[in-house]
């Protein structure tokens, strides 16, 4: 029985400052059906308060506890391990790490630093790693849909460069880490097998969710989706749908079928 829904944001609910057609109404339909929601974004450029404000401006009701980002997961990791961060992230995100004063060593934190990715910044991070710092990747996405509508390099390429040079493997805190999906379900009293993920990234959103044990993962044809993405990664999507509105219809129909099947027994 479907008991919870995880949703990506960029490319699923909105593109830039514009909602994807029907997305706001689809979120409300899921809420009206009594399904708890968690918004699981891999964005590592926008701080948390800006994401919540953007959603509110679009008319999407999201509480603080419903939004999970890699930056929040990283802060919790750093606090738990007592590490001081060496940041290679977008300047807008740096404030989220300002309250940390770890005394048990250092950790390199890599996100989508945008124009801050240059040889000097990458080399500083590399030197921290070979000196023994822990290695945290906020996300390993290959690409994202940029403001001009085209795909741009995401953090994954730069994480891979540091991994290659240092010989160190990162702790991945965002999607496709299984822990990220499972932490989104924590507190919902919902087994992973009873949850559905909706995303536009066949690798991080969909295959990642299925590898984490979620019962279904739907790939939408919006955002960064390109024809053929549904065949490029394993596991393949449970279903390929046009957009969030179609994904909502799929979920509600699947729930009705489950209910009808239960009534027939």
pLDDT surpassing 80 at residue 222: yes
Residue in the block written with tokens 């953090």: 155
Domain ranges of the chain: 4-42+175-264, 70-172
Q: Residue 72: is the preceding peptide bond cis (ω within 30°)?
A: no
Other Cβ atoms less than 10 A from the Cβ of 194: the count is: 16
Q: Domain 4-42+175-264: give its CATH superfamily.
A: HAD superfamily/HAD-like (3.40.50.1000)
Q: What pLDDT is stored for residue 263 in this prediction?
A: 58
Q: 70-172 is classed in which CATH architecture?
A: 3-Layer(aba) Sandwich (3.40)
Q: What pLDDT is stored for residue 187 in this prediction?
A: 84
Length of the chain in residues, anyone?
265
pLDDT surpassing 70 at residue 140: yes
Q: Are 69 and 96 in contact (CB under 8 A)?
A: no
State pLDDT tens for residues 59-109: 998 999 999 999 999 999 999 999 999 999 999 999 999 888 888 999 999
End-to-end CA distance of the chain: 15
Identify the CA nearest to 238 among candidates 201, 177, 203, 197: 197
Give just the sign of the alpha carbon dihedral 23, 13, 31, 64: negative
Where residue 175 falls among pLDDT bands split at 50, 70, 90? very high
The dihedrals phi and psi of 16, each to the nearest 5 degrees, come to 60, -125
70-172: same fold as 4-42+175-264?
Answer: yes
Other Cβ atoms less than 10 A from the Cβ of 11: the count is: 20
């Amino acid at each position: 029985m479907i008991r919870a829904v995880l949703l990506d944001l960029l490319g699923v609910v909105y593109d830039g400052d514009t909602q994807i057609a029907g997305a706001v109404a689809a979120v409300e339909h899921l809420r009206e059906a009594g399904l708890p929601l968690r918004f699981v974004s891999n964005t590592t450029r926008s701080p948390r308060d800006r994401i919540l404000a953007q959603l509110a401006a679009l008319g999407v009701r999201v509480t603080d506890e419903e939004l999970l980002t890699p930056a929040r997961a990283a802060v919790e990791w750093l606090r738990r391990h007592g590490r001081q961060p060496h940041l290679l992230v977008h300047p807008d995100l740096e404030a989220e790490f300002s309250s940390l004063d770890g005394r048990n060593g250092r950790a390199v934190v890599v996100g989508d630093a945008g124009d801050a990715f240059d040889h000097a910044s990458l080399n500083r991070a590399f030197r921290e790693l070979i000196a023994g710092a822990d290695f945290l990747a906020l996300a390993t996405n290959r690409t994202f849909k940029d403001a001009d509508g085209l795909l741009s390099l995401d953090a994954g390429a730069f994480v891979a460069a540091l991994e290659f040079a240092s010989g160190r493997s990162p702790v991945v805190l965002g999607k496709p880490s299984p822990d990220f999906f499972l932490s989104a379900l924590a507190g919902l009293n919902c087994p992973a097998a009873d949850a559905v993920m909706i995303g536009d990234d066949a690798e991080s959103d969909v295959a990642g969710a299925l590898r984490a044990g979620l019962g279904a993962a739907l790939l939408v044809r919006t955002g960064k989706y390109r024809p053929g993405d549904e065949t490029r990664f394993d596991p393949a999507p449970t279903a390929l749908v046009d957009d969030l509105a179609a994904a909502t219809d799929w979920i509600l129909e699947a729930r009705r079928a489950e209910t009808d099947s239960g009534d027939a027994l």
